[in-house]
Structure formats: C-alpha cells, structure tokens
Structure 1
Amino acid sequence: MSTLRILVDRGRCTGIGICESLDPDRFEVDDDGSLVVHDDTVADADREATIAAVESCPARALTLVGASAE
C-alpha cells in the first residue's frame, strides 16, 4: 500500500475531539482547542483507526491524501 498523509483544514477544525477519541495516539486537542497531529504519515498498521477518525470529523476538517483510503 502507498503512504497516506493527513491534511488538516485549520479553518474548519472546531476542536471537538472526535478524532482524538478514535485515534488518541495520532490526534490531540490542546487546551486552547487547536488540533495537534502527532504524525501526519499513516502506516499500514494504523490505517483503520486513522481512517475512522478522519471519516468521523463532523467539520470535515481532516483529509487523507495519497493512495485510496479504502
């Protein structure tokens, strides 16, 4: 599989934290509500949790780029 990368549209991100609850090793919402992505490169072993987090974002602030996410 090809490498996937996470892109964050900071203008859309509302800091709700659904991504953090689904993939806490990768996403973190700081005290000020800003999103921190600990690693924007998604390894094959991590894809399931990361894809779930990206697809669950109610603000549609997260995007995977690269190979197909499916």
Structure 2
Amino acid sequence: MRIVADHGRCEGHGLCADVAPEVYDLDDEAVVVVRHETVPEGLRRPAENGARVCPVAALRVEP
C-alpha cells in the first residue's frame, strides 16, 4: 500500500503526524511529509488512521 499526499491541499494542521508519527511528519513549511514510499505492513493501520484525521482530505491511502 502507498499514501498519496496532495501537498497543495495540506494546511499544516499536523493531525496526521500526531496520530501516526512513524508514518507522517511536517516539513519546515508545515506541509505533510510521508516517511515511507511503500507503507510497511505493520504501519498500515497508523497510515490509514493518520489519513482519516486530515481535516482537508489531503491524504489518500491506496492498495
């Protein structure tokens, strides 16, 4: 599975990084950074949870 981030949509709320810091981070401009190009199996649930809490739907998890 992989995560698609719409960087133009990201508003830097950081909820994704709060929920799943092993998957998401914010750069110096408060834009989401996805830590893994392909999400390891053990981080699948945190990746989905982090995407789900994004208030502007800037993250999408794909199989």
TM over 0.5: yes
- The TM-score, its normalising length taken from structure 2, stands at 0.88
TM superposition outliers: structure 1 runs of 4+ over 4 Å? none
Quote the offset at 1:54 in angstroms: 0.6
Quote the offset at 1:22 in angstroms: 0.8
Count of residue pairs the alignment pairs up: 63
Aligned to 1:55: 52
- The TM-score, its normalising length taken from structure 1, stands at 0.80
Q: Which runs of 5+ in 1 are unaligned?
A: none
Aligned CA RMSD, in angstroms, stands at 1.1
Q: Which runs of 5+ in 2 are unaligned?
A: none
The structure with the larger Rg is 1
